[in-house]
A = this chain, B = another copy of it.
Amino acid sequence: MTTLSEPSALLTPGQLFKCLNDETRQAIMLLVHSEGELCVCELTHALEQSQPKVSRHLSQLRNCGLLQDRREGQWVYYRVMPDLPDWALDVLTATASGAGEMLASLQRQLATMGNRPTRRQMCCQE
């Protein structure tokens, strides 16, 4: 019997590294991890990358089970999958520490965005 509480046991280090191997995906993961939740337009602005490019990487990260999305009106918000195994969270944290300067620069760029969409709290979380 498969326990429902099982954190995404499917995720292997190989899959995680394949995701983090790409610079864009790495930036997305670090920024979402540090900000809690971001929508696609915030990410395209922070990363200064085209929308299709960001979307494609986001869907890849979602398919691998690293990110969770929720739609709120016209916007789709992404956050780190809450049941990510501990070892994967450790990798993210260590990466953030190793890429401190890059993350800081992404946060600065995100801060320059005007008219960021206002979000309601996520149902039953955060």
Contact = CB atoms under 8 A, between A and B. Distances in A.
A76 interface: no
A6 interface: no
A20 B87 CA distance: 15
Interface residues of A, number: 23
A75 B89 CA distance: 38
A126 interface: no
A87 to B, nearest CB: 4
A114 to B, nearest CB: 30
A51 interface: no
A85 interface: yes
A95 B91 contact: yes
A98 B17 contact: no
Given A91-B94, A91-B95, A17 B21 contact: yes
